[in-house]
Amino acid sequence: MSSEKADEKFKSMYEDLKDELANKGVQCELRIITDNKLKADIHDRWIISESMCYNMPSTDTVARGQYSEVKRTENFPPFEE
């Protein structure tokens, strides 16, 4: 997500989600891309585990009710860069 959208309300909601998932044994991490080159290369949202990766629609797309899909992919984005 963009750093402009990571306001205090969002951070609070994310912390609540992270705590809820932790209670169920799920580790959750959010990364915000700040490097403009990498931001231009990676647009989509992802859910990534050690062995699986899912490409997700943006929350804006879902909120507008636009057609979109959650898709499993073999491509892992270069987040470690």
Q: What are the pLDDT digits (tens) for 46-71? A: 888 888 899 888 777 878 888 888 88
d(CA 31, CA 22): 17
Structure confidence at residue 36 (pLDDT): 79
> Where exactly are the structural domains of the chain?
1-40, 44-76
Across residues 11-17, what is the average pLDDT?
91
d(CA 43, CA 67): 17
